[in-house]
Amino acid sequence: MKNLLGSSTKELENVALDYGQAAFRGRQIYNWIYNYRNKKKNIDQIEVLPLDFRKKLKDDGFKISDLSIQERNLANDGTLKLLLSTEDNESIECVGIPTEKRLTACLSSQVGCPMDCKFCATGKEGLKRSLKASEILDQILFIENEMNRKVTNIVFMGMGEPLLNIDDLLLSIRSINKDLKISQRKITVSTVAVPKMINKLSAKSFQILGNCQFTLAISLHASNQKIRETIIPSAKNYEIENIIEDCKQFVRDTGRRVSFEYLMLSGVNDKLEHATELSYLLKGFQCHVNLIQYNQIDEVEFQRASLKNLQSFQSRLTQNGIAVSLRKSRGLDKNAACGQLRQNARNK
């Protein structure tokens, strides 16, 4: 099967020419695919094309979607979570997070995840496979179609470890930038951190994208190696000091500051001594820390840190010269933790 999603204008013009059509027919396909107002997902529903052309494309296996909606959950704050089915009967999640001025799409890069972070629902079932670039892009179109507005920002913070699917990740970013007209500066790639892959990410970005302007976010969640290993098993293969050194090299290579995600877990990593330790770890480095409230799940014992501890932690980092912000959780009333919707559906 040949998925047209992710194809450039030139590539679609060539498809049209191959079928004896004028090049502008390819541009019509392009405009149809990337217009969020077009709800129809089938080749034979692209009404601007001649009927015989549509039939030939469909008969030859062309398509514009690999996914279908399995479940929708709309939270009271307007956050939309979608459970999407793949052609091989797997399930992935994506989330649309609206504000007055923007719509952020939180995307998955894999079916499941191999990292087995102890606080995360996704890792409980392991990795099934990586997603194709077209499946990543399709999540954006579903969010736009369902919410009837244009996505403005992208975060790869859904299911999976993006750096273990680096080629399709970057191909999807290229299309997000070129075809969906979303600036790289409005894209964030979040990773638990995989040895040697941060350097590979910047190098391959220049090869595939021509530059590297997106934000790299490291799911750090600890101020020292010992704590990190207790909540992220894969951390034993990648010392926290080495992660910081690789991030410093990323900044030198790209000119982009790095963000560090820090999930506040009560009694685990939320004490003032941890804030002080984190300050020394990151001092003198072009970075930013996002403190995150934990979305609790039934299968693990972790609890959300108190608001008092969050605020004290944030103040200590600020006092020590570390740029920091508190990221509020969205959609808490509708299975907000990544992986929960998929897991609930499998348990039905």
The answer to whether the CB of 276 falls within 8 A of the CB of 320 is: yes
181: left (phi over 0), alpha (psi -120 to 50) or beta: left
Task: In whole angstroms, give the CA distance from residue 78 to residue 41.
Answer: 24
Phi, psi of 246 (to 5 degrees): -65, -35
Task: In whole angstroms, give the CA distance from residue 92 to residue 278.
Answer: 33
Report the SS3 class of residue 289: strand
**Residue-wise over 219-230: b if at least 16 C-beta within 10 A, else e?**
bbbbbebebbbe
> Which residues belong to the active site?
93, 338
Task: In whole angstroms, give the CA distance from residue 108 to residue 93.
Answer: 6
Length of the chain as a residue count:
348
Task: In whole angstroms, give the CA distance from residue 279 to residue 284.
Answer: 9
The tokens describing 178, both together, are: 């070129």
Task: In whole angstroms, give the CA distance from residue 32 to residue 174.
Answer: 19
H/E segment holding residue 95: strand 91-98
The answer to whether the CB of 62 falls within 8 A of the CB of 6 is: no
- Chain position carrying tokens 């956050």: 79
- Chain position carrying tokens 């969010």: 143
H/E segment holding residue 82: strand 80-85
Task: In whole angstroms, give the CA distance from residue 119 to residue 117.
Answer: 6
Task: In whole angstroms, give the CA distance from residue 334 to residue 323.
Answer: 31
